[in-house]
A and B are shown apart, each in its own frame.
Chain A
C-alpha cells in the first residue's frame, strides 16, 4: 500500500511541476499589442498558446527548444523578427519557416547546433539578417544556402572558423555586413576574398582574429565600406596586404588586454599603396614618432588616435594637409599647443575629450584652424580664470563647442567673441564664474542650444543670458535660484525665442505668475524634480500646446481656476507628486480622468492623501463628493429638531409675554 501512496504522491508532485511550467506560459510580456512579445527566460518548451497568430516580433531567448521543426512556429505566420538566442537548439529540421513569408531576421546566437537541414531556412521571401554567433560552426558549408539571396547581414562571430572563404554557391550580391569577430582566421588568401567579389560596399569584420599573413594581391582593386582588423599583433601585415585596395573606413585599433607590436613609421608605409578615407589606431604605442610618421596619410580625411599615449605631436608633420577630422581623446597632453595645430590646416572637427592630464589651453593654440566647425574639449580638467577669447582665438567658423565636465572657468562679457558662428555650446558640469552684470554669451547671434546644467550659476544676474536672439534650447538643470523662487524679473526675459526650457533639479519652491512673460514660443518646459506646488502652474497661462513636465514636485491640490491652463497644453507629466485624493481636489481629479490621453507617466501618478488611498493610481480613484444618504438623513433630523425647538421657544415667549396681561 505504502509504495502506491508514494507513487500517487509522485504523480501529484509531477503534475504540480507541470502546472508550474504551463502557468509560466502566461508570463510573456506584451510590448506592442498583438504584435510584439517578450518571452525571455521563461523555461518554455514550446510556443505558448496565449501568443496571438498576429505576432510579428518574438523575443524567445533563454528558453528550451532542443529540436525545431515545421510545427514549432507554424501558427505564427506573420513573424518578422525571431530571436532564439540560447534556447539549447541542437536540430533545425526541414521546412521550419515554410509559410513565414515576411520573416526577415533570425537570431540563433549561442545554440549548440548539430545540424541545419538543407531546407531549414526556406520560406521567407526576404530573409535579411541571420545571426549564427557562437553556434560551434567550423565549416561554412554548415549554413544552408538555398534561401540566402536577400541576405544583408551575416553574423558568424565566436565560432571555430579558420577561413573566410564562402562556399562557391553562396549568394553575396546583397550582402552588406559580414562579421567574423573572434574566430581563428589567421590567413587571408586571394581565393578567400575572391569569394566575396559580388558584394558591393561590404563591411567585413575580422576583429579579434590576429591575422598572421595576407597573400600578395589579395585585395587588389577591391572596394570595402569598412574593414576591421582590431587586435592584430602586427599592423604592417594588414597594411601590406591591403595593397591597391579602396577602403572607406579601416579599424586597426588594439585593446588593453591584447598584446601588440609598437607602431613604427616603417610599419605604416603600406598606407602609401592603398586608398583609405578614415583610419582608427586606438590604444597603440608609437615607437618613433617623427614628422615622417604620417607621410602616407595623404588621402586621409579622418584619423582616430584615441588613447595612443601621446604627449605631443611634432611640428612639420607631412601628409596630414587634407585631414578633416582628428580624434585625440584620452591622451596625455599638458598644453593644447603641443598638438601643433598648424599641421592640419584643413581640419573641421577636433576632439580632445578625456585628456589624462590637466590640459592648459594656452593662447591662440588653434588659431591656424580657420575651418574648424566642431571642437570637443570635455572631461579634460581645463581651468581658466579668463576664458575663452584668448584660448579660442580666430576660430571664426566654429559652430559646436563642448567644454563640459571641466574645472572652473571665469567668463567675462563677450567671452566667445572669437567664435561668433557658434550654434551649440555645452558647458554642463563646469563651474562658471561670472560677475554681475556681465553677459558672457553676448553677441552669439546664431547660438541655438546652450547647456548650462550644473554650472553653479549666479542666477540673480539679469544680464547673464543677454544677447542670444536665436537661442531655442536652454538647459539650466541643477542651478539654484535665490530663495528657491523665480521672480517676475529674471534672467529668462532676454531669451525671447526660447522653445525648450529645462529647469529640473533647481530646488524651486515657487515661480512668479509673470516669470515666463515674453517667452511666447516655448513648447517644451521641464520643471521636474523641484518642490513646486499647484500655484506655480499660473506662470504658464499664456502658453498653449506645450509639453509640460511637473514630475517629482510637491503638488497636492490644483485649484479649479488653474485647470484651464493645463487643459490648453498637449502633454503633461504629473507623476511622483503627493497628490490629494479628497473632495477638496475633486475638480482636478475629474479633470484628470477626462484628460488621460494628455497625461504621461500614469502608472506613477498616485494619491498621497487620504492615507487609505496612498499609492492608488489617480486614474483608478473613484470619489463621490455629493451629499451621502446618511448625511441627508442627519440633516433632516437636525432641521426637524431645530423647527420643534423654535416652535416651543416661540410658544414659551408668547406665554411669558401674555402672562402679565
Chain B
C-alpha cells in the first residue's frame, strides 16, 4: 500500500502541469480588511502571478500603491490594460488604458523584454473613489502591441 502511495506521489510530481492548461491557478487574496476583500485568480493558462494592494479600504485613496510580480511572456514596449467591471453578471464599466506607449512610456518598466522576471512596487494613477457596498467581478487583461497576453486576472471585490 505504501508503495502505491509512493507511486502516486511520483506520478503527481512527474506529471507535467502548467504547460498548456490543466488545473486552474489558485485564488489569492490581494488585500483583506474590515470592509473590503479583493480576491484574484490568474486566467492565463501558462502562468500565475503575484499581486497585492497596500491600503485596503473601501475609501480608495488617490494613486494607491500596489505590488506586482510576474515573468514576462512578451516584450512590453507597448502595454495596454483592459478592465471590465461586472456586478451580478451584467457589465457596468469597460475601459482600456495605455500603460506603455512608444511615445509615452509612463512607467519605468516599459520596454522590458520577454523572459524578464518583473517586480513592481509603486503607485498606479487611480482616482479617489468610494466603493459602494456589494460584490463585483473584475476582469483585467494586460496585453502588448500584438495583442499577446501578458497577464490576465479574474478578480472578485467584496465590499461590506
Q: Do A13 and B113 form a contact, CB below 8 Å, given A42-B19, A307-B104?
A: no
Asked if residues A134 and B117 are in contact (CB atoms below 8 Å), the reply is: yes
Q: Which of A70-109 contact B (CB under 8 A)?
A: 85-86, 107, 109
Asked if residues B114 and A257 are in contact (CB atoms below 8 Å), the reply is: no
> Counting CB contacts under 8 A, is B115 at the interface?
yes
> Counting CB contacts under 8 A, is B116 at the interface?
yes
Interchain CA distance A257-B109 in the complex, whole Å: 9
Asked if residues B113 and A131 are in contact (CB atoms below 8 Å), the reply is: yes
Q: Do A256 and B115 form a contact, CB below 8 Å, given A24-B16, A41-B20?
A: no
Interchain CA distance A444-B82 in the complex, whole Å: 39
Q: Which of A254-293 contact B (CB under 8 A)?
A: 255-258, 282-283
> Counting CB contacts under 8 A, is A632 at the interface?
no
Q: Chain A residues near B125 (CB, 8 Å)? A: 256
Count A interface residues, CB 8 Å.
49
> Counting CB contacts under 8 A, is A637 at the interface?
no
Asked if residues B108 and A14 are in contact (CB atoms below 8 Å), the reply is: no
Q: Do A6 and B114 form a contact, CB below 8 Å, given A255-B105, A257-B123?
A: no
Asked if residues A3 and B106 are in contact (CB atoms below 8 Å), the reply is: no
Taking the closest CB of chain A, its distance from the CB of B156, in whole angstroms, is 27
Asked if residues B120 and A133 are in contact (CB atoms below 8 Å), the reply is: no
Asked if residues A7 and B3 are in contact (CB atoms below 8 Å), the reply is: yes
Contact bitstring A1-30, B, C-beta under 8 A = 1, else 0: 011011101100110110011001001000
* Chain A residue with the shortest CB-CB distance to B116: A134
Interchain CA distance A94-B134 in the complex, whole Å: 62
Taking the closest CB of chain B, its distance from the CB of A281, in whole angstroms, is 12
Asked if residues A306 and B123 are in contact (CB atoms below 8 Å), the reply is: no
Q: Chain B residues near A5 (CB, 8 Å)? A: 3
Interchain CA distance A211-B117 in the complex, whole Å: 23
> Counting CB contacts under 8 A, is B93 at the interface?
no
> Counting CB contacts under 8 A, is B28 at the interface?
no
> Counting CB contacts under 8 A, is A61 at the interface?
yes
Q: Which of B2, B106, B117, B123 contacts A110 (CB 8 A)?
A: B117
Q: Which of B11-69 contact A (CB under 8 A)?
A: 11, 14-16, 19-20, 46
> Counting CB contacts under 8 A, is B1 at the interface?
yes
Q: Do A231 and B113 form a contact, CB below 8 Å, given A24-B16, A257-B120?
A: no
Asked if residues A9 and B7 are in contact (CB atoms below 8 Å), the reply is: yes
> Counting CB contacts under 8 A, is A329 at the interface?
yes
Q: Chain B residues near A13 (CB, 8 Å)? A: 7-8, 10-11, 14
7 A–B pairs (Cβ distance < 8 Å), ordered by A: A2-B1, A9-B4, A10-B10, A17-B15, A43-B16, A158-B112, A283-B106
Chain A residues within CB distance 8 Å of chain B: 2-3, 5-7, 9-10, 13-14, 16-17, 20-21, 24, 27, 41-43, 61-62, 85-86, 107, 109-110, 131, 133-134, 155, 157-158, 181-182, 207-208, 230-231, 253, 255-258, 282-283, 306-307, 327, 329-330
Chain B residues within CB distance 8 Å of chain A: 1-4, 6-8, 10-11, 14-16, 19-20, 46, 71, 103-108, 110-117, 120, 122-123, 125
